Each structure stands twice: as C-alpha cells, then as structure tokens.
C-alpha cells in the first residue's frame, strides 16, 4: 500500500513598502482562537539535554545544545522524499520576512514572525490556538530587517527576545505575558532577533547592534522571574584617557 508523506508549511507575505512594514511594529497582548491541545507537556531540563535523540519533538531552535540542526526521525527517506506534498498553509498577520525556527512539542508548533509576533498552532492541521503581539517600545534600532529567529522553552514557558531589546516570557498554553525585562538600550543601537537558549534554569541571550558600535555581551536571566543573574562582555570597555594620550 502506498503512503503519502505530508508536511506543514508556514508562510508569510512580504511587505511592499516601509509604511506597510511599520504598521506591524505595535501589538496588543494575546488573542485566543481555540483551546490549547491537551497533548502539550512541560519541557524538563532532561528533555532539553536529550533533545538530539528526540524524533517526536523539536525543542531547541537549532535542534540540540550542540546546534547541529540534525533531526533523528526516519519517516522521510531518500526513497519517499519525492512524495512530499503540502498539508496546509498557515498565513500569518505580519507582512514581512520570516526567519524563524519553529519549536514543536507533542504536535503543538510555536513560531515567531517579524516584529515579534508569536503563534501557537496545531502542527498537523495548521489550526491556530493563540497569537501574541508584542507591544513595541517607542524606539527600535535594527539594520537588517525586523526578523525574529524563534523562542526558547522550559517548563510551561516560552522566551523571546524583541526588536526593542527586551526579553519576554509567555505562558505556553495561553500566550499570556508573564514577565518582561529590558536587556539593553535600543536608543544606543541594541536590538534582539536571535533565539535565546535555556540552560540550568537560566535564559541566555546575546545582542544585535554591531553595526552601531554597541558593546557586545551575553546575559543570563532567571527563567522563573526574569531577574538578571550575570553579564559577560565580549568587547572591552572604551579606552580611558591618560594625560594627553588615549590608551
């Protein structure tokens, strides 16, 4: 008997002008389309450690802590890959580019778009559970598009960096905003498009903004309450003046 292999496709339209893109910059909390799937489970540190061998879920933006992006599943092979056909098309509300790496937990997909929208959808049917729209601050500074590359997950929470240089924590089941922390000052050129990484109860995130002469860093925030735990600077402080000479 012949079995057709199907796959899900998430699409986003491209903006035709600056005005159209700018219209997406502000959001208003979360809207709910249908009750969350009962299959959604909490993600434990052990699951994150063993993600490289998990053929059912995709719980790191790059697949595992080694960032190999390797998927250990065996359903799609060289023999049947030619039979892949679209199963559904999910259209986002954001008219911009999409560079996200979706997270999948027991058939629930979490994906982000430009301008920091987050969707929870059914990975098999494309049905939407909820849609979070980040309320952007008055200043955003980014050079190469308003993209977002995904969320990190731990327990019942999702974590996302934003274009206005914030870190937000969302409840995975509802999309409710749990806490929000300022990472750096967007007025100085800082922004966030990368997906955070969760390790040992800490949310780790670096920064964008090298085009504007910012000081690079990696910061660790407590996954439970968002409190800043430590900062490691990847670039030294500005040189200090000594007499007439700058050293």
- What is residue 139's predicted lDDT score, i.e. its pLDDT? 78
- What is residue 23's predicted lDDT score, i.e. its pLDDT? 39
pTM of the model: 0.85
pLDDT along the chain (247 residues), means of 10: 42 32 56 96 98 96 96 92 95 92 97 97 97 91 90 98 97 97 94 96 93 90 98 82 48
Strands 30-32 and 128-133: antiparallel
CB neighbours of residue 227 within 10 Å: 11
- What is residue 196's predicted lDDT score, i.e. its pLDDT? 98
47 by Cβ neighbours in 10 Å (0-12 / 13-18 / 19+) ranks as: middle
- What is the distance between the alpha carbons of residues 208 and 106, in angstroms, rounded to a whole number? 32
Strands 6-11 and 85-91: parallel
User: E strands along 62-174, which residues?
Assistant: 85-91, 103-105, 108-112, 117-122, 128-133, 152-154, 157-161, 166-171
Do the Cβ atoms of 199 and 221 come closer than 8 Å?
no
- What is residue 118's predicted lDDT score, i.e. its pLDDT? 98
Separation in Å, CA 145 to CA 18, 159, 168, 184? 11, 21, 20, 19
- What is the distance between the alpha carbons of residues 35 and 9, in angstroms, rounded to a whole number? 22
- What is residue 240's predicted lDDT score, i.e. its pLDDT? 61
User: E strands along the chain, which residues?
Assistant: 6-11, 30-32, 85-91, 103-105, 108-112, 117-122, 128-133, 152-154, 157-161, 166-171, 177-182, 197-199, 202-205, 217-222, 228-233, 241-242, 245-246
Q: Which residues pair with 85 in a beta bridge?
A: 6
Separation in Å, CA 211 to CA 64, 114, 132? 29, 19, 29
Do the Cβ atoms of 48 and 58 come closer than 8 Å?
no
- What is residue 210's predicted lDDT score, i.e. its pLDDT? 80
Instruction: Name the H helices within 24-171.
Output: 45-49
Output DSSP code: residue 151: -
- What is residue 141's predicted lDDT score, i.e. its pLDDT? 83
């Amino acid at each position: 008997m012949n079995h057709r292999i199907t796959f899900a496709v998430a699409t986003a339209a491209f903006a035709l002008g600056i005005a159209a893109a700018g219209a997406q910059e502000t959001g208003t909390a979360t809207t709910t389309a249908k009750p969350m799937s009962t299959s959604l489970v909490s993600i434990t540190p052990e699951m994150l450690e063993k993600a490289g061998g998990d053929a059912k879920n995709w719980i790191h933006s790059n697949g595992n802590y080694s960032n190999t992006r390797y998927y250990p599943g065996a359903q799609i092979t060289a023999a049947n890959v030619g039979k892949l056909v679209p199963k559904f098309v999910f259209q986002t509300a954001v008219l911009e580019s999409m560079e996200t790496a979706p997270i999948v937990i027991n058939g629930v997909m979490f994906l982000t778009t430009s301008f920091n929208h987050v969707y929870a959808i059914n990975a098999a049917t494309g049905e939407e559970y909820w849609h979070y729209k980040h309320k952007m601050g008055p200043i955003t500074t980014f050079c190469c598009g308003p993209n977002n590359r995904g969320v990190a997950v731990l327990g019942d929470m999702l974590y996302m960096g934003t274009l206005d240089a914030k870190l937000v924590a969302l409840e995975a089941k509802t999309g409710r905003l749990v806490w929000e922390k300022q990472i750096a000052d967007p007025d100085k050129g800082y922004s966030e498009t990368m997906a955070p990484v969760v390790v040992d109860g800490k949310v780790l995130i670096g920064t964008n903004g090298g085009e504007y002469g910012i000081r690079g860093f990696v910061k660790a925030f407590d996954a439970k309450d968002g409190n800043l735990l430590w900062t490691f600077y990847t670039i030294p402080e500005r040189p200090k003046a000594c007499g007439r000479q700058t050293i």
